[in-house]
Chains A and B, each alone.
Chain A
Amino acid sequence: MPTLPTSRLTGSIMIISVASGKGGTGKTTVATSLAAILGSRAQLLDCDVEEPNCHILMRPELQTSEVVSVPVPVVDMEKCTQCGRCGEVCRFSAILVIGTEVLTFPELCHGCGGCSLLCPEKAISEGPRELGVLETGFAGPVEFVHGRLRVGEAMSPPLIRAVKAKIKSEKVAILDAPPGASCPVINTVSGSDFIIMVTEPTPFGLHDLRIAVEAVSHLNIPLGVVLNRADIGDREVQRYCDEMSIPLLAEIPHDRKIAEGYARGDLLVTSASEYITLFLGMYADIKRLAGNRITGPRKATA
């Protein structure tokens, strides 16, 4: 268990998502250090269920584990009359009648339950398809939750929603989102009070930041940017943030001390404690910005 700095903060309870377009920009670094400085007030939820990695830095003691599954159709051929209603209602082709057979494709099923609901013979019941596991515990004073998607499984949103169902209202919930700008990201950040977009000052970082900002813009959640390895690359991310009126919450330099700590698997604020002030300032800014939604960024224009 790493030694975590104790919280010096009090304030309102909220949900903060840490996202990014580009992978490898420092989402987990930011999410874990933010959770660590908040201490017992924080709950860290790793929603990057395909490749969760907060546990590597947080080293939590896991206390509970449960299997998360989606319901998939199981057909009782004794009752089935091959009417084909199930196949008509399924938009994912996960069930259909061919001749006298009913074919099911569990890996295509989204678990809506439409086929069993509409089957006139009540021949369809629901069986589980395992998506992954949900684990909870503590990393020092920080409450910890993560989901681990089963290898080979392609559908992560139901597991992400199961992770989010563990959010405790009396905590500051910090959600580490998957990279990108697709369904798993939207499922993670929906319902948040604030989104931190972590990026790097490179053409790649800016390109993917633009896409991610545009993807979440319709959710009308205030957001801010953390620029990691801020002293390499160019100044285009700052220019973009100015243009879009997106607050630049923090610039974390490309600091050898941070890199060495990261290589050892230590938290940024543990290996380079002089950055605690930076994270405290970031949290204060987030509280202010989340409480004043009118100052959120303008909608990205296509």
Chain B
Amino acid sequence: MKIAITTTGKDLSSPVDPRFGRAQYILILDQDGSLLEAVDNSPNVNAMRGAGIQAAKLLADRRVDVLMTGHCGPNAFRTLNAAGIKVVIEQSGTVREALDRLNRGEVKFADAANVEAHW
């Protein structure tokens, strides 16, 4: 299982970035915490529109199974849903803490976006 977690840094001790589409980095991890890839998301940080859609596409291309982040808008959610990626929202603390919560089964998967689309 591949897990993507949005963050402001490049390792597991970095804090979770609450933004999905405009997060600085997206870490791709496996379930036991090995870092598979630290994706630099800067092209989407400065996108005028559609940052969430592009970030979702980036995860779909990497065949990610679960995304953990803070907020997820409707366009991003629709794209993630089409790609079959499960979404865990309202995450905070460090990347490792978020992963631990997932592994302990303390999270539930979102069934809708939790923020409005941005302009």
Q: Please report A residues at the B interface, Cβ cutoff 8 Å.
A: 87, 92-94, 96, 98-99, 101, 103, 105, 108, 154
| Chain A residues with CB below 8 A from B112, complex form | none
User: Chain B: how many interface residues by the 8 Å CB criterion?
Assistant: 16
| Nearest-CB residue, chain B, relative to A90 | B50
| Nearest-CB residue, chain A, relative to B44 | A93
Identify which of B47, B50, B57, B119 contacts A105 (C-beta below 8 A).
B50
- Pull 7 A–B residue pairs with CB atoms less than 8 Å apart, ordered by A: A92-B50, A96-B57, A98-B57, A99-B82, A99-B83, A105-B53, A108-B50
Q: A94-B50, A108-B49 are in contact. Are A103 and B119 (CB under 8 A)?
A: no
Interface string of B60-97 (1 = CB under 8 A from A): 10000000000000010011001110000000000000
Tell which of A87, A96, A99 has the most Cβ of chain B within 10 Å. A96
C-alpha spacing A105/B49, complex, angstroms: 11
Q: How far is the CB of B116 from chain A (nearest CB, A)?
A: 12
| Chain A residues with CB below 8 A from B56, complex form | 98
C-alpha spacing A147/B57, complex, angstroms: 37
Q: How far is the CB of A186 from chain B (nearest CB, A)?
A: 16
Q: How far is the CB of B16 from chain A (nearest CB, A)?
A: 24
Interface flag for B41 (CB, 8 Å): no
C-alpha spacing A103/B78, complex, angstroms: 9
Q: Please report B residues at the A interface, Cβ cutoff 8 Å.
A: 47-50, 53-54, 56-57, 60, 75, 78-79, 82-84, 119
| Chain A residues with CB below 8 A from B49, complex form | 92-93, 108
Given contacts A99-B83, A103-B82, 12 further A-B contacts (CB under 8 A): A87-B57, A92-B50, A93-B49, A93-B50, A93-B54, A94-B50, A96-B79, A98-B79, A98-B83, A99-B82, A108-B49, A108-B75
| Chain A residues with CB below 8 A from B48, complex form | 92
C-alpha spacing A159/B10, complex, angstroms: 45
A98 x B60 contact (CB < 8 A): yes
A99 x B60 contact (CB < 8 A): yes
C-alpha spacing A3/B2, complex, angstroms: 73
| Nearest-CB residue, chain B, relative to A101 | B82
C-alpha spacing A158/B101, complex, angstroms: 49
Q: How far is the CB of A265 from chain B (nearest CB, A)?
A: 33
A99 x B84 contact (CB < 8 A): yes
